[in-house]
Structure 1
Amino acid sequence: MKQKTNVFMIVFWLVLLISNPVVFGQETGKKNVNLRIVTDLAGRQVKIAGPVNKIVTTFKPATLCVLSLGLEKKLVGIDTSSGRDRLGMAVFPGIKKVKGIGSKSMGINFETLVSLEPDLVILYSQKDGRKLANRLKILNIPSIVILPETFDTIKHSLELIARAVGGTDQTISVGRHMDEIISLVQDRLSDLPDKERKTGYFASPRGLFSTATGNMLQHEIFTTAGIYNVSCDLKGYFQDISPEQLIKWNPDIMVLSRHMKKGAAKQLSNKGLSRLTAVSHHKVYRCPSDLAPWDFPSPLSVLASLWLAKKVYPDRFLDIDLKDKVNGYYKALFNKTMDQMGGNLDDKIWMIKSDDKI
């Protein structure tokens, strides 16, 4: 009886192989393929057949994710600003020669993108990202939408990219190192009394009176660092506020986005704003680093929570050498330390009426 069962199973698999070869990664009359169906963070099912050798990224977080996964040599097109990032040039000197295809803020040059004949395009979910995905689908160009607005969705975005390209062991490593930094900060602050918890305000790249809402990554950076985000009740993307609202909130600390123009910080010297607790106590910081911004969605953003927690609650991190932690993290993700890349935290700002750094 057992012998008959074995014979039946052999016949069954032979029939299945002949009648449905795509199950085994082959199609009759075509070269071998590896069909993958992934669900992106916009809920779209995307079919990817064959190897992914040419990738196009359309915004900086996507480029940073690709670099952290060790896929930089597959890049044939990038958002224009990523070509100027010092981290990208340090990790992959050839990035300067990768074709720029525009940006999320100024618009994507669709014709240029298509001309690169990519195997995979990584898109943003805001603005025209999903419309671009639909246009690419018509041309049979696979694209995935990522939404890296929390630490968890950053990890999910990394996993999605890895599945789309056919897998990479680096995904597990990056996720583990992110979790280690988050756990370190949370453990040190686990018994922080509410009465000792500081309030904070994040000023976006748009200017001093534009801030992160409770839906954004910067909010999670603050909360992980044990800081109450004064703008947490706002919803959506960056929101504009009035100077009067900032004065009313009167935060204990302020963090200015890495990409905020220097001129915007000069407004802190206005008579009304100079009385803010954060300003008068010299607790205004610029988010690191000078290689690539930690306040942008990427695996680097967990470092912003460690940096900020150590700034605000130094007694709880006395034994932590921030530069050592950062160097180790960069080494794990990019195979080079921050020092080897020539990078610095560069987290000070200048006041308009003083040559001294705050």
Structure 2
Amino acid sequence: MKKRFKRVLIIGICVLMISLLAGCSETKKDQSSEASKSERTITDLAGKSVTLPPVAEIKNVVIIAPPLLSTYISNQLSTENLVGVSAVALSEMNKALVDTFVPNNQAINTSFVSSSYESNTEELLKLDPDLILVYGDNQKKGLETIQVPVVDFFIKNQVNEDWSVQIDQLMREIFGLENDDSLQQEWDTANKKVDTILSEVQSTEKQKGLMIMSNTGDKITVRGAGTYGDDWLVKSGLVNAAAELTGDNIEVTMEQILAWNPDIVYVFRGLPATQYLSGAITGQDWSQIQAFKDGKIYNTPVGIMNWGTPCADSPLMIQWLVSKNFPEKLSDNDFKTILKEFYERRYEIKLTDEMIQSILTPVTGK
């Protein structure tokens, strides 16, 4: 009799607990539902207050700043509400993966914005946008008086982790997403691995790295101190060979590069690394540079975007750089595993060997 009473009591308590939990869950759903039905005021990265429509009413999204597309995809895992982007956003994406990341890319309007990111307001409004995402004042030209919220993702400091994480955080706030799988968590994992490797090589003399911003054959520009490129080089354990210069996209001569004699060269844009290594660039002799002698001239990978730009793939970039700078500490095969797991975790994409190849050895041009 006592056992039966105890069993009934336990069952009663369980039922009560389930009811309470269900009530809490329902309350949470109700609160979330209410939040999605009301307007919100947020502060964008430029420090401006912007009133947004309810999450549920954001149907048509326009993205003008190319890197923001990667973060949008990372968080939404869908582009069905994307009605307009700059053409650069799609061209900076891996060509073998465009249809995977943006299956409706042919239907998305790119003609409303110029190559300098200025919008034709009349054409833009034809897209009936509920939200416009930009970077900096130049991309807001012509949008000052329209009755559509414009969110600016501009920040002054050029630190890849800071901006890629702040993009992610603001995007999550805009679309009412939780932070249980934020980009900061990916950065924390990447930084732990990188810090371990760098601590193991700290007694060795630092190698000199150079990041080419662009090389057309006629003109070479580099990424000097205080730039995203400089941040990549320094954070991955190198000294920026062009640190005596300040700023991005600075034109230099082959004589300057020869004097710097970098151990490793990373090519962000322009002629591909294969042309450097094969001596195929007319008027440029790279053969006397240490990076050429050691075969250490690399294109920056291109995944959801070119990794030379802070984006949703940025935690991968820092690890890839370290794998090239210190291959004895992080092998190509180990990095490929990191890449595959990241893409499946972040984008629900199972990369094939061909996809991995296209990311790590992208086809580039002028």
Distance in 1 (CA, whole Å) between partners of 2:148 and 2:45 is: 18
- Cα distance change, pair 282–62 in 1 and its aligned pair in 2 (3 A): same
- Match of 1:285, SS state, is strand
- Cα distance change, pair 47–267 in 1 and its aligned pair in 2 (3 A): farther
- Cα distance change, pair 290–174 in 1 and its aligned pair in 2 (3 A): closer
2:28 corresponds to = none
Distance in 2 (CA, whole Å) between partners of 1:295 and 1:75 is: 24
- Cα distance change, pair 69–228 in 1 and its aligned pair in 2 (3 A): same
Give 1:243 shift: 2.1
Q: How does 1:329-348 map to 2 (within 5 A)?
A: 329-339=342-352, 342-344=355-357, 345-347=359-361
Q: Of the candidates 211, 230, 240, which is equivalent to residue 222 of structure 2?
A: 211
Which stretches in structure 1 are left out of the alignment for 5+ residues? Answer: 1-24, 27-31, 351-358
Identity of aligned residues (%): 21
Q: Does 2:120 align with 1:113?
A: no
- Cα distance change, pair 53–297 in 1 and its aligned pair in 2 (3 A): same
Q: Does 2:145 align with 1:138?
A: yes
Q: Does 2:347 align with 1:327?
A: no
- Cα distance change, pair 102–136 in 1 and its aligned pair in 2 (3 A): closer
Instruction: Tell whether the 8 Å contact from 1:291 to 1:343 is kept in structure 2 after alignment.
Output: no
Q: Of the candidates 244, 247, 252, which is equivalent to residue 241 of structure 1?
A: 252
- Match of 2:302, SS state, is coil
Q: Of the candidates 162, 175, 195, which is equivalent to residue 172 of structure 2?
A: 162
Write out per-residue CA displacement over residues 271-292 of structure 1, whole angstroms, 9 at most, x where no aligned residue.
Answer: 7432011112211111113663
Q: Specify the code of the residue in structure 2 equivalent to 1:245.
A: Q
Q: Specify the code of the residue in structure 2 equivalent to 1:347.
A: T
Higher mean Cα deviation, 81-90 or 112-121?
Answer: 81-90
Write out per-residue CA displacement over residues 91-145 of structure 1, whole angstroms, 9 at most, x where no aligned residue.
Answer: 231122111133553643333222212111111226x12x43xx42411211111
Distance in 1 (CA, whole Å) between partners of 2:185 and 2:356 is: 23
Give 1:164 shift: 2.0
Give 1:162 shift: 1.9
Distance in 1 (CA, whole Å) between partners of 2:107 and 2:354 is: 19
Distance in 2 (CA, whole Å) between partners of 1:271 and 1:329 is: 38
Distance in 1 (CA, whole Å) between partners of 2:362 and 2:146 is: 48
- Cα distance change, pair 340–244 in 1 and its aligned pair in 2 (3 A): closer
2:186 corresponds to = 177
Q: How does 1:1-358 map to 2 (within 5 A)?
A: 33-50=37-54, 51-70=57-76, 71-84=78-91, 85=93, 86=95, 87-100=97-110, 101-105=112-116, 107-125=118-136, 128-129=138-139, 131-132=140-141, 135-147=142-154, 149=158, 150-165=160-175, 167-169=176-178, 172-193=181-202, 195-205=204-214, 207=216, 209-257=220-268, 259-262=269-272, 265=276, 272-289=285-302, 292-318=305-331, 321-339=334-352, 342-344=355-357, 345-347=359-361
Distance in 2 (CA, whole Å) between partners of 1:54 and 1:142 is: 12
- Match of 2:41, SS state, is strand
Distance in 1 (CA, whole Å) between partners of 2:284 and 2:184 is: 45
Distance in 1 (CA, whole Å) between partners of 2:363 and 2:260 is: 21
TM-score w.r.t. length of structure 2:
0.76
Distance in 2 (CA, whole Å) between partners of 1:278 and 1:237 is: 21
- Cα distance change, pair 274–174 in 1 and its aligned pair in 2 (3 A): same
TM-score w.r.t. length of structure 1:
0.78
Q: Specify the code of the residue in structure 2 equivalent to 1:123.
A: V
Distance in 2 (CA, whole Å) between partners of 1:291 and 1:138 is: 33
- Match of 2:84, SS state, is strand
- Match of 1:314, SS state, is coil
Paired residues, number: 316
Distance in 2 (CA, whole Å) between partners of 1:68 and 1:137 is: 29
Instruction: Tell whether the 8 Å contact from 1:125 to 1:146 is kept in structure 2 after alignment.
Output: yes
- Match of 1:234, SS state, is coil
1:19 corresponds to = none
Instruction: Tell whether the 8 Å contact from 2:101 to 2:304 is kept in structure 1 after alignment.
Output: no
